[in-house]
Amino acid sequence: MLFAACSTTRHTPKRSVKHKHKKERVVKHKKQRIPYISNLTGVRKKIVEASLEWEGTPYKFAGYSKKTGTDCSGMVLTVYLETTGIKLPRNSAKQAEYCKRIKPSQVLPGDLVFFATGKDPDKVSHVGIMIDNDNFIHASTSKGVVISSVSTPYYQRTFMGYGRAL
């Protein structure tokens, strides 16, 4: 891939640029975490905290590592295994089958949300972990692990449902 935005005319040493970037990111990350976990307890708090640790991880098809990259189902599988001991299936469609379907009014942080973002509009192909009643964390193919809102037009259009694995 070619990233034209990565080049610059400034002659700042890479070391100081990386340090500054990391410092700004950590501050932003801490501010984002507070609303999502302030009222949570127990296993749901552990799931949300663990999933937020993945934010910024690069996308990698069939990956499941914070260091080398992950896809959506790999992140979900790893978070659930490490926080609950539940071993979910490896792909999002099978994860949807594994979960108990729940209504939007029943959604809690830590529940899963499923989308049909692939070629088949009737088949689950993407999964994320709800961190509150509107936001979820997931591995985007273009942005890596990010927080998104289920109420955006794209996710409303591709929404397939919510599931509970607990």
Out of 19, 21, 29, 72, pick the active-site residue.
72
| 3-state DSSP assignment of residue 89 | coil
Residue 29 annotated among the catalytic residues of the structure: no
Residue 72 annotated among the catalytic residues of the structure: yes
User: CA-CA distance, 45 to 35, in Å (whole number)?
Assistant: 12
User: CA-CA distance, 109 to 40, in Å (whole number)?
Assistant: 8
Q: With the C-alpha atoms ordered 55, 59, 61, 67, is the resulting torsion angle positive or negative?
A: negative
Strands (DSSP E) contained in 34-134 are: 64-65, 69-70, 100-102, 112-115, 126-130
Out of 19, 29, 99, 138, pick the active-site residue.
138
Residue 19 annotated among the catalytic residues of the structure: no
User: CA-CA distance, 80 to 90, in Å (whole number)?
Assistant: 12
User: Residues with catalytic annotation?
Assistant: 72, 126, 138
